Amino acid sequence: MEAPEQVYGVTPPMKTDLPTDAERRTTDALLEELKRQNTFESPADTAKREKVLESLRHICNAFVKHVAKTKEPKNDVLIRNAIGKVFTYGSYRLGVYGPGSDIDTLIVAPKYVLREDYFEHFPKLLVEMAPKGAITGLTVVTDAFVPIIKFEYSGISIDLIFSRIIQKQLSEDLTLQDSALLRGLDEVELRSLNGTRVTDEILALVPERSTFRKALRAIKLWAQRRAIYANIMGFPGGVAWAMLVARVCQLYPKAAASVVVNKFFLIISQWQWPHPVLLKRIESGPLPVRVWNPKIYKGDSFHLMPVITPAYPSMCATFNITRSSMTVIQRELERGFEITEKIVTGKRPWSDLFVKHTFFTSGYKYYISVIATSKTEDAHKIWSGYVESKVRMLVQKLEQHPSIALAHAFNKGYERRHKCRTSEEILQVQEGSMEFLAGPEAASESNGATDESRGNGAVKAEEPAKEQSDGGVAKDGTASATAKVDDQDKTAVKEETEDGGTSVTSPPQAMEIFTTTHYIGLELAKIFPHPKLASNLLYLSLSGADQQDAKSLDLSYQVDEFKTLCTSWQKYEEELKDVASIGVQHCRNFNLPDDVFEPGETKPQRKSAKNAPNGKKREATEQPATPTGEATAVLSRSGRLRHTGTHWDDYDDDDYDGRKLAARSTTCVGI
């Protein structure tokens, strides 16, 4: 009598048929496309990864011995048996890594090695024991949700986290499956161990690992190409996508990878959210720790697309998803299903599924850009990471506005370097200027480039400097460079001699300024309000006969709250205030910087004024007229957009009489 087949998941499978010949051929075609898309790593590169991990194991053991000698120098037995363990998690442990993938790595140490010891001693040992020059970009982040050391080892990106377990000595064959190992650990240590435990559970809960890995490679590539892969920006991360694919594998345990991919789009696009995705029943455990349960914890009931980790204590891997990102994900899932339905019937190739997103080329008319600026590279690593972690908060504030249907944050920021010689140039960079870019990209960007902060496309040279009050702060309350810096800039160019003349000195040396910019696409609600011109409104207008977007839009409150959230960070107040800033700008699609477009992509073009329905160009002093079917807006110096007909112009809050002012729009705070 045959033993019953194992049932995976919380429900019986939907289908257990073996693959047909046609399905196998479709899977072969999928694998060929994945290889063509360069998702597989060469054996030589894989061997290099293994060599790096072996080196980390050696350094890990030396680190634990070092701490043992420091704390108990006379305990020879402890020192002799002092070892640590290196575990991996994420894409590397799942077996779906590719060229350029990082290695998510965990160091586990005995109970006498504390987190403080790890951050104090390990970075030094890492640099000392690795081959000379092999460690680059070393960054220590102690106050993250999961404290981490980030670096590159021989060009391979490593994210290294730490936890101890309450054992005096570790065995060579230690695994992390036993939940009893979690006893006595704090929440940070539990989160650190969770990555490896979850990854191992996922692999144990899929019927066929080979099929799972092939399907997951396809879904990862699709999610990355469609820009919906980033937990920090409100989209599922790698582990969440892996759990979703694993659930489909459980429902079709014998299916070919091509079928799993097709059924993935069918099932997940029709999933009845917020019903959770579970790979197994949620377990209770030996610890008084929080386990995901919306009936007990109010916060869990607000999760929009809950995907629950299978390892104890179970957590929601998708708690970051917002209403807007959920809408974007749903659209992409429906698109994926439509395409794969035609692929499995031979009507379309697999390459159609992996076509790049259109976020910048045709996604939106209006964008908000969040610009993190720093004067030093070390400060920027810290500041830009913190701002990135808070962009999702701005998205949530924006989507609560009744006139915004969707606020879609792009899944990555754009890092740029600028060379500035004066405080005025630094201010322009803070406001989004591309004119002072350093490096090979500078030529293409600065040649006739327009400032991101100016919706009307005027060349920066035509604009006079922002008017400032005493103390170097702009009259609109925007923080700018200090008066002291201004004075230094002036004396660097011209000095008065004893006889009353002047002598010209060499210009000030260029200072490197670092920026990271995040873009949020805005989709306006289709509503029919009664527009009122008001000096304090972020104002948009659309007078087309067919449908109307939001007529008035004041985002100053949301922007101010977001800036306060960022600048009230204790580390900013204590260490970064003088070298870092945060700015929020509007941007029309035709004013997006060139570097967000890849070769072959068409940048949106501004409609010519001569095509306006009345055929009339508006003079600078003319009262703005609203063109039929054209929505335009502007962000004023206080952070507000203003309707100006076919142009984007800047108006002072106290002077909305149609006169064009020559001030740049900005909501910059800091340096």
State pLDDT tens for residues 97-127: 999 999 999 999 999 999 999 999 999 999 9
DSSP letter string over 246-272?
HHHHHHSTT--HHHHHHHHHHHHHT--
- Residue 354 DSSP class: G
Annotated binding-site residue numbers for ATP:
102-104, 159, 220, 229, 238-239
Residues 307 and 430 grouped into a single domain: no
User: Annotated catalytic, 638?
Assistant: no
Give 622-655 pLDDT, tens digit per residue.
333 333 333 333 343 334 343 333 233 332 333 3
Q: Which two tokens stand for residue 459?
A: 């060349």
Q: Which two tokens stand for residue 514?
A: 């670092």
Mean pLDDT is lowest, of 99-108, 534-543, 655-664, for 655-664
pLDDT at 308 over 80: yes
Characterize the bridge pairing of strands 414-420 and 156-164: unpaired
User: Annotated catalytic, 104?
Assistant: yes
pLDDT at 657: 30
Of the residues 92, 97, 104, 252, only one is catalytic, namely 104
128 contacts 58 by C-beta, under 8 angstroms: no
Characterize the bridge pairing of strands 85-89 and 103-109: antiparallel
Residues 290 and 327 grouped into a single domain: yes
Residues 214 and 328 grouped into a single domain: yes
Q: What is the Cα–Cα distance from 74 to 412, expressed in whole angstroms?
A: 51
Give, for 338, the enclosing helix (H) or strand (E): helix 323-343
User: Annotated catalytic, 636?
Assistant: no
Q: In this structure, is residue 100 part of a structural domain?
A: yes
Residues 362 and 335 grouped into a single domain: no
pLDDT at 464 over 80: no
Residues 263 and 322 grouped into a single domain: yes
Quote the pTM value. 0.80
- Omega before residue 274 within 30° of 0, cis: yes
User: Annotated catalytic, 470?
Assistant: no
Of the residues 69, 71, 102, 577, only one is catalytic, namely 102
* Residue 47 domain boundaries: 42-204
Residues 199 and 217 grouped into a single domain: no
Of the residues 85, 89, 91, 324, only one is catalytic, namely 91
pLDDT at 2: 59
Annotated binding-site residue numbers for Mg(2+):
102, 104, 159
Residues 31 and 67 grouped into a single domain: no
pLDDT, mean of residues 308-319 = 96
Give, for 306, the enclosing helix (H) or strand (E): none
| Residue 554's pLDDT band (cuts 50, 70, 90) | confident
Residues 372 and 404 grouped into a single domain: yes
Q: List helix spans (H) across 130-168.
A: none
Residues 199 and 210 grouped into a single domain: no
Strand-by-strand arrangement of the 156-164 sheet: 85-89, 103-109, 156-164, 148-153, 135-141
Q: Which residue has the higher pLDDT, 594 or 528?
A: 594
pLDDT at 611: 53
pLDDT at 46: 96
Residue 430: how many CA atoms within 13 Å on its side-chain side? Answer: 26
Residues 425 and 567 grouped into a single domain: yes
Q: What is the Cα–Cα distance from 423 to 198, expressed in whole angstroms?
A: 50
User: Annotated catalytic, 159?
Assistant: yes
pLDDT at 306 over 60: yes
Number of separate domains in the chain: 3
Give 503-515 pLDDT, tens digit per residue.
555 667 889 999 9
Annotated binding-site residue numbers:
102-104, 159, 220, 229, 238-239
User: Annotated catalytic, 378?
Assistant: no
Residue 492: how many CA atoms within 13 Å on its side-chain side? Answer: 14
CATH of the domain at 131: 3.30.460.10
Of the residues 117, 159, 476, 650, only one is catalytic, namely 159
